[in-house]
Amino acid sequence: MKKKYEDIILPIEQRVLNMVSEMTLDEKVSQMVHKAPLIDRLKIPEYNWWNECLHGVARAGNATVFPQAIGLAASWDRDLLKRVAEVISDEARAKHHHAKKKGNFKRFYGLTFWSPTINIFRDPRWGRGQETYGEDPYLTGEMGATFIKGLQGNDPYYLKLIATPKHFAVHSGPENIRHHFNVNVTKKDMAETYLPAFKKCVIDGKACSIMTAYTRLNGQPCSANKTLLIDILRNKWGFKGFVVSDCGAIDDIYKAHKVVKTAAEASALAINNGCELSCGNTFKALVSVIPALSRLTLIPL
């Protein structure tokens, strides 16, 4: 007998909820890390969530290479950037389908892209300013939202791919201290400088995922920050997608920021404060903290 999740006539939300209800705890947790394994009995293929396309499809063979983001921003041309993003997403789709036919589920062949970088570039010591659209919040928001629209496409039902503006939020400063740095920012600076571009990308660009920053923000790790991920992102802006941690950021919660002592506590803290996917393997520790999952809810895309 066909399961509900196999019935393409049913609404996608109903199918997803049915599939999740069929999964064991171990299976659920296995899908919450960036290298998600095959679940053969449910016909869920393995999937690697990690992909990049800041200025072209990265590290998946030959691809069109466009100017870095800072160069594209210098054009001040949204229409041009939209066309660039559409070319990138065309190539991304083609590469994904070709890889899937070959049984290739390795990193950089999926459809979840961790781009664009919309951090406000204030501090050159970060060393990655070329990935951003510069220091102006308005320009960054306009270019970021346009890039996202070009990547995700305009089909009313299917996404061409998923874009992921990053790193939420206030990610800059010296690169070598990012894993334990605490950023103190006033409410005024947050509202005027650091949040507008993310808001634009969520509300206007309709980004389907967001990546967190490594740092703490006003004392709380960004990957487990209720103010950022629940109060602002979901409740205030109405975000319906998923939040992914930067790579290794869940480890930072207990190893670098030291706000808790163990991987299990760090994972539970992140999950309960709005982070659903870990770039890394730390979330596997969730199996040992079942009570912490009691407040976890599925939010359909």
pLDDT bucket at 123, cuts 50 / 70 / 90: confident
pLDDT bucket at 288, cuts 50 / 70 / 90: confident
Q: What is the pLDDT of residues 14-23, one digit of tens each?
A: 999 999 999 9
> Catalytic: which of 26, 246, 251, 252?
246
Cα dihedral 96, 101, 102, 106 in deg (nearest 10): 40
**One-letter amino acid for residue 33 of the chain:** V
| Residues 179, 144: Cα–Cα separation, whole Å | 25
The whole-number average pLDDT for the span 144-156 is 97
For residue 132, what are the CA distances in angstroms to 85, 113, 199? Answer: 15, 16, 16
The whole-number average pLDDT for the span 168-174 is 86
- Please tell me the pTM assigned to this model: 0.94
Residue 49 has pLDDT above 80, yes or no: yes
pLDDT at 232: 98
**What residues does 33 pair with on adjacent strands?**
278
Residue 108 has pLDDT above 90, yes or no: yes
For residue 279, what are the CA distances in angstroms to 184, 204, 247? Answer: 25, 26, 4
pLDDT at 290: 66
Catalytic residue check, 204: no
Cα dihedral 289, 293, 294, 297 in deg (nearest 10): 180
Three-class SS of residue 292? helix
Cα angle 103-277-4, degrees, rounded to a multiple of 5: 65
pLDDT at 124: 87
pLDDT at 301: 33
The whole-number average pLDDT for the span 71-94 is 98
Of 116-130, 193-207, 213-227, the one with minimum mean pLDDT is: 116-130
Residue 300 has pLDDT above 60, yes or no: no
**One-letter amino acid for residue 186 of the chain:** T
pLDDT at 2: 83
pLDDT at 201: 98
pLDDT bucket at 296, cuts 50 / 70 / 90: very low
Phi/psi zone of residue 61: left (φ > 0), alpha (ψ -120 to 50 degrees), beta? left
pLDDT bucket at 151, cuts 50 / 70 / 90: very high
pLDDT at 175: 84
Q: What does pLDDT average to over the chain?
A: 94
233 φ/ψ angles, rounded to the nearest 5 degrees:
-60, -55
Domains of the chain: 20-295 (3.20.20.300)
pLDDT at 295: 47
Q: Please count the other Cβ atoms lying within 10 Å of the Cβ belonging to residue 70.
A: 17
| Residues 84, 150: Cα–Cα separation, whole Å | 8
The whole-number average pLDDT for the span 143-166 is 97
Q: How many residues does the chain have?
A: 301
| DSSP element (H, E) containing 78 | helix 78-101
The DSSP secondary structure of 243-257, one letter per residue, reads EE--TTHHHHHHHTS
What percent of the chain lies above the pLDDT cut of 90? 88
